């Protein structure tokens, strides 16, 4: 297990992470620290704990909004899949109906051609 030191709100913290995850965790810490800096710029010095809590809530709010958007997109994708399935089913039914009509027409044409080619037709006399 790897260990790194991250700096958040001017304080260093030793953190453990899986091997190979060091860069990712460092980036997350930098991003969280950026949230704290943004809040400090908006509200000034309001206390370390309060800034950290506000940053945590801000990040959680962003996460909740992205989860909501992801869910909406997943629902839309599922709706599109269902519409595609329904369209393909209608298309298959239409193709089958057209094929049946073509087969019926071909059978009638063959019957007419057979009737016309028989000896003793009224037009041969």
What is the mean predicted confidence (pLDDT) over 32-45?
Answer: 92
pLDDT at 45: 82
Least confident of 30-34, 105-109, 120-124: 120-124
* pTM: predicted TM-score of the whole model, two decimal places: 0.64
**Which strand (E) or helix (H) includes residue 117?**
helix 48-117
Q: Per-residue confidence at 64, pLDDT binned at 50, 70, 90?
A: very high
Least confident of 37-46, 70-79, 94-103: 37-46
Please report where in the chains the tokens 């016309």 appear, as a residue.
116
- Cα separation, 118 vs 51, in Å, equals 100
């Amino acid at each position: 297990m790897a260990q790194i030191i991250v700096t958040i709100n001017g304080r260093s913290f030793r953190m453990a992470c899986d091997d190979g995850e060091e860069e990712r965790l460092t980036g997350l810490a930098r991003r969280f620290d950026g949230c704290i800096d943004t809040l400090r710029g908006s509200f000034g010095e309001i206390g370390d704990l309060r800034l950290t809590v506000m940053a945590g809530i801000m990040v959680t709010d962003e996460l909740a909004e992205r989860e909501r958007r992801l869910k909406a997109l997943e629902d839309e994708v599922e709706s599109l899949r269902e519409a595609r399935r329904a369209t393909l089913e209608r298309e298959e039914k239409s193709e089958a109906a057209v094929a049946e009509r073509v087969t019926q027409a071909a059978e009638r044409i063959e019957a007419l051609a057979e009737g016309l080619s028989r000896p003793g037709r009224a037009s041969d006399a």
